[in-house]
Amino acid sequence: MSISAGRIGILVLAAALASALVACGQSEAVDSGAAASNGEGTTIYPLVLDNCGRKVTIDAAPQRVVSLDQGSTEILLSLGLAERVVGTASWTDPIRENLAEANASVPRLADNAPSYEVVLGADPDFVTASFGRHFAQGGVADRDRFEETGMETYLSPTDCDNGVSINGGGKRTTPLTMDALYQEIRELAAVFDVSTRGEELIDELKSRETAALAGIGAADVSLAFWFADTKSPYVAGGLGSPNLLATYVGAENAFSDLTDDWAPVGWETVVERNPDVLVLGDLLRNRFPGDLLVEKAAFLESDPLTKNLDAVRNGHYIELHGAEMNPSIRTVDGLEKLAAGLRDLKVPS
């Protein structure tokens, strides 16, 4: 069974997707002495957060927020904050269907990273990001520069390990967990004084996790997650979000020995490890060769090395959007699709 453009719809193994979702990492929690976040209208300001080694003080609920990543934007929209989002950027995929109406009124500052001047032009009082590269050298601007102009910043705990941003130049030392995403939801809900909504979102995501894994058992299955690039494929290592998905379904990540979230490898290495199933990223940003699912399928089935992989010969592919392979509320979407895909492929047989 091979993939062609006409058969892509068959491979879209979408389970029933309801709300927004999440993934994980490690960071620090809300200062319990500074905020009571157990219900709507209960945040006590100033709210103090220890956010990836940085003290962030929120004097009042922000009214104008710019989100520098799709993942952060989808959390804000899921919390019912669309009217306060004055800009968004860095998208790999279309918005989740259930958030499309809310997102329609949100200005897209850039498909990729915006400039600092463009962010300033939106006049935000709060800036959020899923990935610390935006706050690193060569990114949008460092966090001190935002603070100097009166804007507090927030970085997702899923991108933080021991007070250092993974995408801002650090290294992950402990595996990502769902707790980091749930922490992000709780903290952002507290920042905007909508904590009840945050808890409801977390409860929904946890219920979907449980439902997705009912009866799953893939202990004898090896997976390789291919994000992008046909020349030196970026595959998921053993500490990031895709490895978390593999762990949840009881499968083995064929590249779990790698420590980077996404590491470039040679095709000879992929062939040598010969995973049972290839989890293919369909990145509708379409900026680089191999972003799209059809490009990945065409390459796998024509390349002299890869066409002999067991997964290619057997048609054992599962498609995930790029946003479902990175830490975000879409991680649960990815979990649902991965579990459904393994059942559909009857792997293991």
DSSP-assigned states of every residue in 305-338:
TGGGSHHHHHT-EEEEEGGGTSSSTTHHHHHHHH
Separation CA 122–CA 236 (nearest Å):
35
Same domain, 76 and 109: yes
pLDDT, residue 218, reads: 64
* Residues whose CB falls within 8 Å of the CB of residue 91, separated by 6 or more in sequence, listed in order: 70, 108, 111, 285
Same domain, 118 and 181: yes
State the DSSP code for 115.
Answer: P
Domain boundary among 210, 231, 249: 210
Successive 10-residue mean pLDDT values, the chain, 349 residues: 36 34 36 41 93 96 97 98 97 94 96 95 97 95 95 97 94 95 98 97 97 82 96 96 95 96 96 97 85 95 96 96 93 96 83
Same domain, 160 and 240: no
- Neighbouring-strand partners of residue 56: 49
Question: Is 36 a member of any domain?
Answer: no
Give the position of tokens 């220890």.
50
Same domain, 254 and 141: no
Question: Is 329 a member of any domain?
Answer: yes
pLDDT, residue 41, reads: 75
**What is the SS3 assignment for 215?**
coil
Same domain, 145 and 278: no
Question: Is 31 a member of any domain?
Answer: no
pLDDT, residue 18, reads: 33
pLDDT, residue 349, reads: 61
Question: Is 104 a member of any domain?
Answer: yes
Separation CA 109–CA 37 (nearest Å):
31
Question: Is 77 a member of any domain?
Answer: yes
- Cβ atoms within 10 Å, residue 344: 13
For β-strands 277-282 and 108-110, DSSP reports them as: unpaired
Separation CA 336–CA 340 (nearest Å):
6
**What is the SS3 assignment for 252?**
strand
Separation CA 75–CA 58 (nearest Å):
19
Same domain, 232 and 331: yes
Same domain, 234 and 90: no
* Residues whose CB falls within 8 Å of the CB of residue 309, separated by 6 or more in sequence, listed in order: 270, 271, 274, 275, 278, 300
> Of 287, 326, 283, whose CA–CA distance to 129 is shortest?
326
Question: Is 28 a member of any domain?
Answer: no
Same domain, 229 and 336: yes
Cβ burial, residue 224 (10 Å; 0-12/13-18/19+): buried
Domain boundary among 210, 244, 266: 210
Domain boundary among 186, 210, 234: 210
Same domain, 299 and 177: no
Measured CA distances, 164 to 56, 135, 246, 270, 283 (Å):
15, 12, 25, 31, 27
Q: How many helices (H) and strands (E) does the chain have?
A: 12, 15
Same domain, 178 and 109: yes
Same domain, 204 and 237: no
Q: Give the DSSP H or E segment for 204.
A: helix 195-212
Separation CA 313–CA 216 (nearest Å):
24
- What residue numbers bound the domain in which 291 lies? 5-18+217-345
Question: Is 35 a member of any domain?
Answer: no
Question: Is 246 a member of any domain?
Answer: yes
Separation CA 34–CA 26 (nearest Å):
21
**What is the SS3 assignment for 41?**
coil
Pair 3, 13: CB distance under 8 Å: no
Separation CA 212–CA 33 (nearest Å):
37
Total structural domains within the chain: 2
pLDDT, residue 288, reads: 83
Same domain, 192 and 284: no
> Of 277, 281, 285, whose CA–CA distance to 293 is shortest?
281
Assign residue 204 the CATH number of its domain: 3.40.50.1980
